[in-house]
Amino acid sequence: MQRAGRHLAAVLSELAASRHMDCRLLSLNDSHQLHHMSVGGKEFVFTGYERSKARFTATAVRVSRRYGELVLAGHPNLGPVTQAMWVGAAGLKTIICTHGLEVWEPLSTVRRLALRRANVVLAPSRDTANHVADAQKVKPEKIRVLPWALDPDFEAIPANGAKLKLPHDYPGGRVILTVGRWLANERYKGMDTLITTLPRLLTRWPELQLLAVGDGNDRGWLEELAEHSGVKRHVHFLSGLSSEELAACYSACEIFALPSGGEGFGLVYLEAMARGKPVIGGAHGGSPEVIEDGVTGYLVPHGDATQLAASIETLLADPELGEKMGECGRQRVEREFRFSVFAKVLKKILREQCES
């Protein structure tokens, strides 16, 4: 969500500058000061409000009364703020972004009302768009599907892993990589299934290693699960990596797997595909709109260790197939998921609202 927010802010700033319009970027969670950030070499500035909803909302309402023409909220939780702004600024157009799991069940009354009143609701996948319509009762004609994009700063990192410095603790052998947040309330990511699948795989490929990049309050539980499954020596956790180190991990691994049951889209799939890796994801949510089953990787039911193992075994037994799938994925990212494609579509949506 943070990366999506950066992309939205960069496009908003660029479009506003080209139209000689004022653009104010407000962040609820960042520290109370001016922040400078860039995406693809294009810098923008935003103000943080240190989680103070009162100050954040007051500033947003004040700005909208003076300059309000269009407001874009980066998350449904900020929808009520757009409604407070709308009350004080006649003619203000509102756009609200959704991401995935947060809209699968009905939101609070005030947040659902904000979504229904918005001029446009953005969804990163058709699956998320369907949930917005079904669970939040938003009119389908208000919903626009706008897939997230590969970060241009990630694109700029050399694709040749040999030129990148791997983290010190990167394991040897054949590596399955997974990337995510390991939180107790996000076990739908499927990291536990990857661990319980390893014993079956190690009987044929004893040099196999599972590398999990990320951190969270569930890491201890996952480490215990690895120990109880007898695969502790084959499961490795790394956190706090730089962008270059993460890119090196993608380039060096053989397979990327995140058999999640609840991805609204899945930016990590794009990163792995951009590095030419076959990708295994969950056959749920927005993942099937990113991963072409049997073409760029495999889709497996969440929690199905047998099918997950079969998919991994197929790729391990036929490295040429994995390379072919990886190249298909890389080409698809190049065609459909570059930042320039995302920016073009978003600018079109923003111009339509401004001109209407």
Domain boundaries, the chain: 2-149+338-355, 158-336
- % helix, strand, coil for the chain, step of 5: 50, 15, 35
Residue 161 pLDDT more than 70?
A: no
Residue 40 pLDDT level (bands cut at 50, 70, 90): confident
Q: Which two tokens stand for residue 241?
A: 């990596």
Torsion of CA 350, 63, 80, 139, to 10 degrees: -20
> 169 and 147 in contact (C-beta within 8 Å)?
no
Q: What is the mean pLDDT of residues 313-318?
A: 98
Instruction: Dump pLDDT digits (tens) for 168-202.
Output: 999 999 999 999 999 999 999 999 999 999 999 99
Instruction: Dump pLDDT digits (tens) for 233-269.
Output: 999 999 999 999 999 999 999 999 999 998 999 999 9
Secondary structure E strands in the chain: 26-27, 34-39, 42-48, 70-73, 93-97, 120-123, 143-145, 174-179, 208-213, 235-238, 255-258, 279-282, 297-300
pTM for the full predicted model: 0.92
Identify the sign of the CA torsion 316, 319, 324, 326: positive
Residue 125 pLDDT more than 90?
A: yes
Residue 88: what pLDDT?
76
b/e 278-299 (16+ beta carbons within 10 angstroms → b): bbbbbbbbbbbbbbbeeebbbb
CB-neighbour burial class of residue 7 (10 A; exposed 0-12, middle 13-18, buried 19+): buried
Residue 1 pLDDT more than 90?
A: no
Long-range CB contacts for residues 10-17, cutoff 8 Å, separation at least 24: 10/38, 10/39, 10/40, 10/42, 10/44, 10/343, 11/342, 11/343, 11/346, 11/347, 11/350, 12/44, 12/72, 12/350, 13/42, 13/44, 14/42, 14/343, 14/347, 15/347, 15/350, 15/351
C-alpha atoms less than 13 angstroms from C-alpha of 308 in its C-beta half-sphere? 29
CATH topology match: 2-149+338-355 vs 158-336: yes
Residue 280 pLDDT more than 90?
A: yes
Residue 342 pLDDT more than 60?
A: yes
CA angle in degrees (0–180, nearest 5) for 341-244-290: 35
> 260 and 285 in contact (C-beta within 8 Å)?
yes
The CATH homologous superfamily to which domain 158-336 belongs is Glycogen Phosphorylase B; (3.40.50.2000)
Residue 295 pLDDT level (bands cut at 50, 70, 90): very high
Residue 160 pLDDT more than 70?
A: no
Residue 2: what pLDDT?
86
Residue 309: C-alpha distances to residues 21, 65, 237, 341 (Å): 54, 57, 20, 35
Residue 166 pLDDT more than 70?
A: yes
Residue 278 pLDDT more than 70?
A: yes
Architecture of domain 2-149+338-355: 3-Layer(aba) Sandwich (3.40)
Residue 68 pLDDT more than 90?
A: no
Residue 89: what pLDDT?
85
Residue 162 pLDDT level (bands cut at 50, 70, 90): low
Instruction: Dump pLDDT digits (tens) for 73-110.
Output: 999 999 999 999 988 787 899 999 999 999 999 999 99
Chain center to CA of 259: 15
Please give the mean pLDDT across all residues of the chain. Answer: 94
Q: CA-to-CA distance for 289 and 69, rounded, in angstroms?
A: 33
Residue 169: what pLDDT?
93
Residue 31: what pLDDT?
93
* Pairing relationship of beta strands 34-39 and 208-213 according to DSSP bridges: unpaired
Residue 127: C-alpha distances to residues 109, 152, 268, 285 (Å): 22, 25, 18, 6
Which uninterrupted H or E stretch holds 250? helix 243-252
